[in-house]
Structure 1
Amino acid sequence: MSCSSAPAPVADSPRSSEVVETPVAAPAETPVAAIPASYKDVQFPEFVYVAPHPKDYRVEVAPGITGYIASDRSLPLVNFSVYFDESTQASQLKDEAPRSMVSSMLRRGAGGGVSPHDLDDSLEFISAGISTSAGTFSSMFDINCLSKDFANLLELSKKVLTAPAFDKEQLEIVKAGFVTSYDRRFDTPAKILSSLKAKVNYAPNPRLWDANADEYKAVTAEDVKRLAAGTYSSKRIVFALSGDVDRDSSIAMLKDFFASWKVEPVAEKPAPKPLSFLRRPGIYVVDKDITQANISMNQPFVKRPHPDYYPAAVASFILGGGSFTSRLMNRVRSDEGLAYSIYSSVGNDYRDTSMVTIALQTKVESVDFALKLIYEEVEKLAKEGPSAEELAQAKKSLIESLPSLFDSPASTAVIFANGELIGKSQDHYLEYVKEINTVTPDQVKAMITKYFDKDKMTISIVAPVSKLEALKPFTVIPMDSLEFRN
């Protein structure tokens, strides 16, 4: 009686009862001389990375409607983001509260004959999502679903988003969330610092308006509907489609989708007013009884594209953007132990003039000393410039960060869509490498001198005023005056 787990005999096998030995080649031995004596002696080939090019993904489905398709059939998932080049902005302060709720209510209020409850149930049943937003420069919606459900989700999103209902019960939930956020707006030093930094750097602008709790509570569905009029009706649309899709069939599907996208024509809205700076250097403090001072040092920078951006990015990396390779981290944290984190950055904005930043947290008692060390490092780099090793490391790190931007098909499609929306060159990521590699030590010195000048900076601090005597003179900003109301 044979065991059921025994292997079946192999039919037509010669000498099946004999063991057949197959000679195995001995593994090749690595010459002793080829093994480095230390890990420091290990040699790696030069890293060469060429970013994907937008033209390989770009399609045009109709006049004014372009997009990027990045196919990935490894999982049955689809991501679809659609961007509309349009502004959602309040023209008077009393409209700021309902305007800020438009983003949420376009999705949560449902529409097109579909109730919010039915929409939520439908999406949950198939593990899908639809999200919406409406901002200063663009509006968008996003679909995430299994590939088998994508066609149905397209039609569902069209039904809901072209005829939003602004359900009153859902609006009450949204309003409660905004009121809670308003009540907790200054709960942490980081939130206070963010408001203080904006208040002392920017001139009043409708884009910066802050609604208050009473205004949020008073919002009606009719208010939101009025402020949402014309959303998703732009003449210029850019989309990003990625995942388990076929390029050719997707183009045909999207042509049909956008051809029947029905919107009500509205009067063209005025372009958003650019942000402008107060340009009032100095030290500004919000009095807060805490042990760790929160500090942000800022100066106006540039609006991209601008020739100063790339050399300034390299300069900032050497100064404070390169983590433990940066001068500020080594001096302020490693040498003196005054901060857990300190960094510098340069703004990257194609819509407005951005800012440069140096930020840190340190014990209240060490604020004066920490600022002194920062000034010294800035002045030293501006005067002496970077070492050859620092400059090479900065360039290498910035260039080798490129692959992380394209770590998935979804990221790739979205980056290219956003790039087209704001006007980036199709060769932007090829130009990036060339521009970074051409930065010189003299350019680094010039950028530090020009954009990290302590005499042109606003220094925002959240800390107990009584413990900052060494910093005087400074201006105390009451916490209840941080909001923009004009």
Structure 2
Amino acid sequence: MSAPPAAEWPASVPQTGRAAPFVRLGAFLHRSFLAVPLAMTIALVAAPPAQSETTRIQRVVSPGGIEAWLVHDTTLPLVAMEFAFVGGAAQDPAGKPGVASLTGSLLDEGAGDLDARTFQDRLAEKAIEMRFDASRDTLTGSLRTLSENVDAAFELTRLAVNAPRFDDEAVERIREAQLASLRRRSTDPQTQASLAWTATAFPNHPYGRPVDGTLESVPAITRADLVTYAGKVMARDHLKIAVVGDITPDRLGPALDRIFGALPEKAQLVLVPDIAPQGLGTVQVKALDVPQASIVFGGIGLERKDPDFIPAFVLNHMLGGSAFSSRLFREVREKRGLAYSVYSYLAAFDHAGVLLGGTATKNDRAGESMTLIREEYLKLLQDGPSEQELADAKSYLIGSFALRFDSSAKVASQLLQIQLDDLGIDYIDKRNDLVAAVTLDDIRRVSRRFAANPNLLFSVVGKPTNLPSDMPSNVPPEAAKGG
């Protein structure tokens, strides 16, 4: 499992999947792609301090009523578009995980009257970057193009979302690529630990199924499954769109209708129930003959809409959200040298809030590492941080936030996520003030909420020994003790 979605991310966690909202839209750096010259990079350009960043986001509504958020920026002749359909892998048929992932991988593999090779050739001819991806809660699309080719890029996007071909050749080729990836991941300890964690935490729930499917489920997916999924999920009522770059509102509005206007008005989504993580207080071990044990841990968290999410975000930064100053980093790496890295973060799914983290250590130090992680978590919840520790955390989170958003593509991603999280178009003006306003009383309040069930579920892949004796596990006691 890649890092799950969250509205705020610790700097030490790879920012895959849903990315974090940002604080300044005025700082763009170009990331070169395809045939776009590297020389087109630019320096950071800050908006005037007195200008509200919200005023730079324009809400564009097409003649047909399709809404997008736009940041019109002419610094470079580039346009970046991000869009998402709510649904994602949570809408996979119960017995066929991987449908959403395979569907996304095939949307740009031929559409309309263009077969896969012709479609890809058209993208390459115009230096257009297009990709689709599925997470647990969304099916996302991403587009990067030179502004002179924006009409061609929008037309190819229209074909991809409205008329994917799902030709047999493309389906089998992409299916085999997905199976090859699954085979590689079957021997990757960190991936296996993540999959085992979600399967245990979310039993008999869509979140417990692997997003990319399994070696058994992917071969069983049919073309009809892909067509059905696309028809049910890709609709206008759950569509969010963000655009950044060299395009005006007057030009974008009609384009939205051309690209998305023919989609069904309403999605046919299966109800996904809310769920809290299960299996807390236990250890799940999968044996793998590797020198290090990969550990994923997690417990209860908060949904993004929860009023205490920002205080919880600050609390997590002190626990394991900072790459160099968190308590877990100091205790696990600096003081004892148990691991190269250790981290934690809040994962805000649409139907579950979770605290997640991970590390990797020698097999014979796995139990010690797990015990230490639990102790530091409980200590922070019970004793709280000092005033200075809280002040340092807030200062870092406020000062570093803008540095994460260094391209128009990233800005578009953050605009999209703000919409998906329903934070409001003025969120970027409020975010730093929300962090700055967090007090020790706020931290104590949210700590009490976490302390109501502070147990953690550990998933370990390797040959760990000396597991905590007070935590039930699926490992025989003699094996857990080690030699």
Short-chain TM bin: 0.7 to 0.9
**1:124 has 2:159 as partner:** no
Distance 1:98 1:346 in 2: 27
Please tell me the residue identity of whatever aligns with 1:462: V
Per-residue displacement from partner, 1:356-410 (whole Å, max 9, x unpaired)? 1342222222233334443443444344432222111101111123313543343
**1:161 has 2:161 as partner:** yes
| Residue in 1 that maps onto 2:59 | 58
Is this contact kept in 1: 2:296–2:358, CA < 8 A? yes
Taking structure 1 as reference, are residues 299 and 91 closer, same or farther at Cα in structure 2, changes over 3 Å only?
Answer: closer
Is this contact kept in 1: 2:201–2:208, CA < 8 A? no
Is this contact kept in 1: 2:89–2:98, CA < 8 A? no
Distance 1:385 1:91 in 2: 42
Per-residue displacement from partner, 1:251-278 (whole Å, max 9, x unpaired)? 3x4265258x324678733333334432
**1:96 has 2:114 as partner:** no
Is this contact kept in 2: 1:51–1:403, CA < 8 A? no
Per-residue displacement from partner, 1:320-374 (whole Å, max 9, x unpaired)? 222322222222222222221122322334x122211342222222233334443
Is this contact kept in 1: 2:90–2:136, CA < 8 A? yes
| Residue in 2 that maps onto 1:69 | 70
Taking structure 1 as reference, are residues 450 and 90 closer, same or farther at Cα in structure 2, changes over 3 Å only?
Answer: closer
Per-residue displacement from partner, 1:162-212 (whole Å, max 9, x unpaired)? 222111111110111122223333211101210121122113113533544
SS at match of 1:156: helix
| Residue in 1 that maps onto 2:285 | 285
Distance 2:384 2:50 in 1: 28
CA apart distance, 1:453: 7.5
**1:363 has 2:365 as partner:** no
Is this contact kept in 2: 1:286–1:461, CA < 8 A? yes
| Residue in 1 that maps onto 2:229 | 227
Q: 2:239 aligns with which of 237, 244, 254?
A: 237
Is this contact kept in 2: 1:378–1:452, CA < 8 A? no
| Residue in 1 that maps onto 2:190 | 190
Distance 1:412 1:353 in 2: 26
Taking structure 1 as reference, are residues 50 and 361 closer, same or farther at Cα in structure 2, changes over 3 Å only?
Answer: farther
SS at match of 2:226: helix
| Residue in 1 that maps onto 2:435 | 436
CA apart distance, 1:115: 1.6
Per-residue displacement from partner, 1:225-261 (whole Å, max 9, x unpaired)? 233224533235332222222333333x4265258x3
Taking structure 1 as reference, are residues 95 and 199 closer, same or farther at Cα in structure 2, changes over 3 Å only?
Answer: closer
Distance 1:266 1:66 in 2: 15
Is this contact kept in 1: 2:59–2:67, CA < 8 A? yes
Identity between Structure 1 and Structure 2 (%): 24
What does residue range 53-452 of structure 1 map to in structure 2 within 5 Å? 53=54, 56-62=57-63, 64-85=65-86, 90=91, 92-108=93-109, 110-133=110-133, 137-210=137-210, 211-251=213-253, 253-254=254-255, 257=258, 261-263=261-263, 268-349=268-349, 351-448=350-447, 450-451=449-450
Distance 2:283 2:468 in 1: 12
CA apart distance, 1:460: 2.1
Unpaired runs of 5+ residues, structure 1, are 1-47, 479-486
Please tell me the residue identity of whatever aligns with 2:231: A
- Bigger mean CA offset, 281-290 vs 387-396: 281-290
Is this contact kept in 2: 1:54–1:426, CA < 8 A? no
| Residue in 2 that maps onto 1:39 | none
| Residue in 2 that maps onto 1:461 | 460
Please tell me the residue identity of whatever aligns with 2:435: I
Please tell me the residue identity of whatever aligns with 1:411: K
Is this contact kept in 1: 2:72–2:247, CA < 8 A? yes
- Bigger mean CA offset, 188-197 vs 409-418: 409-418
Please tell me the residue identity of whatever aligns with 1:197: W
Is this contact kept in 2: 1:76–1:146, CA < 8 A? yes
Distance 1:217 1:371 in 2: 37
Taking structure 1 as reference, are residues 50 and 192 closer, same or farther at Cα in structure 2, changes over 3 Å only?
Answer: farther
Please tell me the residue identity of whatever aligns with 2:273: K
Taking structure 1 as reference, are residues 427 and 230 closer, same or farther at Cα in structure 2, changes over 3 Å only?
Answer: same
Distance 2:71 2:188 in 1: 41
Relative to the length of structure 1, the TM-score reads 0.77
Taking structure 1 as reference, are residues 306 and 92 closer, same or farther at Cα in structure 2, changes over 3 Å only?
Answer: closer
The structure number with the bigger radius of gyration is: 1
Is this contact kept in 2: 1:85–1:235, CA < 8 A? no
CA apart distance, 1:104: 1.6
CA RMSD of aligned residues (A): 3.1
Relative to the length of structure 2, the TM-score reads 0.78
CA apart distance, 1:73: 2.1
Taking structure 1 as reference, are residues 390 and 250 closer, same or farther at Cα in structure 2, changes over 3 Å only?
Answer: same
| Residue in 2 that maps onto 1:476 | 474
Taking structure 1 as reference, are residues 263 and 428 closer, same or farther at Cα in structure 2, changes over 3 Å only?
Answer: closer
Please tell me the residue identity of whatever aligns with 1:173: R
Taking structure 1 as reference, are residues 212 and 389 closer, same or farther at Cα in structure 2, changes over 3 Å only?
Answer: closer
Please tell me the residue identity of whatever aligns with 1:354: G
Distance 1:144 1:83 in 2: 15
CA apart distance, 1:134: 5.3
